Amino acid sequence: MKLNRTSFSAVAVLLASVALPGISHATVTVLGWPGGSEETALRATVEAYNAQSGIADADKVELLFFNRDGFFDKLQADMAAGSDAFDVNLVATYSIGRYAPYMEPVDLGADAGKVFGESVLKTMQFDGKQFGVPTDLSLHFMYYRKDLVDALMQDDAGKKKYAEIAKEHLGKDLQPKDPDSWTWDDWAATTLYFSKQVNSESPVRYGTVLQMKNLLFNVMVFQSLPRSYGADWTDKDGNVTVDSDAYKTGLELYKKLYDAGASPKDSLSYEYAETNAAYGSGQAATALQWNAAAADLTNAEKTPAVAAVTGIVAPPAGPNGRADHIHGLGLGLNKNAKNKEGAVKFLKWLATEDAALLYARSGGSPALAPNVAAKVSKERPDLVKLGEFASQYGYVMNGATSANALSVYELQAKEFTGYWAGQQSLEDALARTKTGMQDLLKK
């Protein structure tokens, strides 16, 4: 009997020690963007928030993460069902139109504009109302191997070979150039030169890593190419213009590079992680990749093969100059939140300069106003580039914040990958995309 009592007490103490802290602290639940630098930064920031002396136990924050795959679908189902499982949820520029009906606008205070700048705050606005704190800005960097490009620039035989390849594959007279002044043709010629299948003397296996999986985010990476040739989803009258010459040029260039072996054969199944692995292996000369990868690809511990020799520039230029897809990720207030007061308190804190700097130092990528970004420029030089590229080259396609923007990206991903894989002609792919977009954008 005594033994039973002792065992019972021990079990009770054990259960209490495991369960009670979770119960007492979990009063503002934040649903964040899972995986990658965003999750790491949010965890560190929330830890600091909870550690503050002025935060009541009732307002402490607990984090919740779904799987990254299908995240927005699950979120859509939860919000449509009126879920109160989270008080604060993730929102992105391209999904605001879809989720705004299930969220409440939030007043971040006058200082938020000074921390982020008004243009960045707008990435979280819908119908003129603020629906979230812009925690991360996403755009694309062109990562390249400085050592390989520098060696090419000093090698006369290499330059001759480069010119021959450019003439043969692209029909153009080109010479190697500094990556910061690349056009898409220069980049294409460089990737072909550094591909074993085209140039058997290449020191690496591939010239680039194309993200070509049938995935909506990959279309965002791709579309800066046609955009720099003048592409848009619709014209000013709302007519879908996806079958333009600009889109054709971009789609054809990707296919040409893939067919020539400039990108891994498995590229049709590649997304963020696979691209990092391929470039990080030291077997690819360039990669157009999300800015979020910068911290990993330039970290000698995480990517020892290339960290020290990786350069970063903006995506190459087209006839209309450079273009860089831009969108914000942020956190906003669920209409059915159980603890709205606590949630708003957390969101307001997140929009302060101290919190934004902490988030940046923890690996996140907030787009900060220049004077705020200057305070972390030593630890996070990529944030300086982020702000620079966003302000100079950032764009949002017409219709890309509409309620069906995600579905448009899905449609494009399916049809474009079908063309790249050789399953349908360019004309068929564009015709189907156009018809589908007309249907989606008129809803």
- 73 versus 245: smaller Cβ distance to another protein: 73
Residue among 290 and 349 whose Cβ is closer to another protein: 290
What is the per-residue DSSP string for 31-73? E---SHHHHHHHHHHHHHHHHSTT--GGG-EEEE---STTHHH
CA neighbours within 13 Å on the CB side: how many for 331? 29
d(CA 228, CA 175): 21
Whole-angstrom distance, CA of residue 151 vs CA of residue 146: 8
Whichever of 58 and 77 has its CB closer to another protein, that residue is: 77
Nearer to another protein, 229 or 416 (CB): 416
User: Under 8 Å CB-to-CB from 3, ≥6 apart: which residues?
Assistant: none
CA atoms within 13 A of residue 305's CA, in its CB half-sphere: 12
Shortest approach of another protein to residue 412 CB, angstroms?
12
Closest CB to another protein among 265 and 442?
265
In the complex, what is the shortest distance from the CB of residue 214 to another protein, in angstroms, rounded to a whole number? 5
* Residues whose CB is less than 8 angstroms from the CB of residue 242 and which lie 6 or more positions away in sequence, other chains included: 231, 233, 412, 430, 433, 434, 437
Shortest distance, position 81 Cβ to another protein, whole Å: 8
In whole angstroms, the minimum distance from the beta carbon of 417 to another protein comes to: 4
Q: Tell me whether strands 28-31 and 61-64 are parallel, antiparallel or unpaired.
A: parallel
Q: Which residues bind another protein (CB under 8 A)?
A: 69-70, 73, 76-77, 80-81, 101, 212-215, 264-266, 268-269, 274, 277-278, 280-281, 283, 404, 406-407, 410, 414-415, 417-424
Q: How far apart are CA 249 and CA 47, in angstroms?
A: 48
What gap in Å lies between CA 368 and CA 386, rounded to an integer?
Answer: 9
Nearer to another protein, 150 or 266 (CB): 266
Kindly state the smallest distance separating residue 139's Cβ from another protein, in Å.
23
Least spacing, CB of residue 162 vs another protein, in Å: 25
Angle at 86 between CA 80 and CA 88, to 5 degrees: 95
Question: Which is it for strands 129-130 and 327-334: parallel, antiparallel or unpaired?
Answer: unpaired
259 vs 388 by CB, closer to another protein: 259
Cβ 155 to another protein shortest distance, Å: 26
* Residue owning tokens 């934004």: 356
| Angle at 386 (CA atoms; ends 384, 390), nearest 5 degrees | 125
- Residue 119 or 197: the one with the smaller Cβ distance to another protein is 197
Of residues 283 and 391, the one with the C-beta less far from another protein: 283
Least separation in angstroms between residue 208's CB and another protein is 14
Which of 171, 178, 213 has the alpha carbon at shortest distance from 192?
171
Residue reference for tokens 């007043």: 107
Shortest Å, Cβ 440 to another protein: 9
Cβ proximity of 45 and 10 under 8 Å: no
CB of 302 to another protein, least distance (A): 13
Measured between its terminal Cα atoms, the distance across the chain in Å is: 70
Q: How many other CB atoms are there within 10 angstroms of residue 265's CB atom?
A: 10
Q: Cβ closer to another protein: 365 or 412? A: 412
Task: Spell out the SS3 assignment of 157-224.
Answer: HHHHHHHHHHHHHHCCCCCCCCHHHCEHHHHHHHHHHCCCCCCCCCCCCECCCCCCCCCHHHHHHHCH
Between 264 and 330, name the residue whose CB sits nearer to another protein.
Answer: 264
Question: Cβ 82 to another protein, closest distance in Å?
Answer: 10
Question: Angle 245-260/405-420 helices, nearest 10 degrees?
Answer: 50
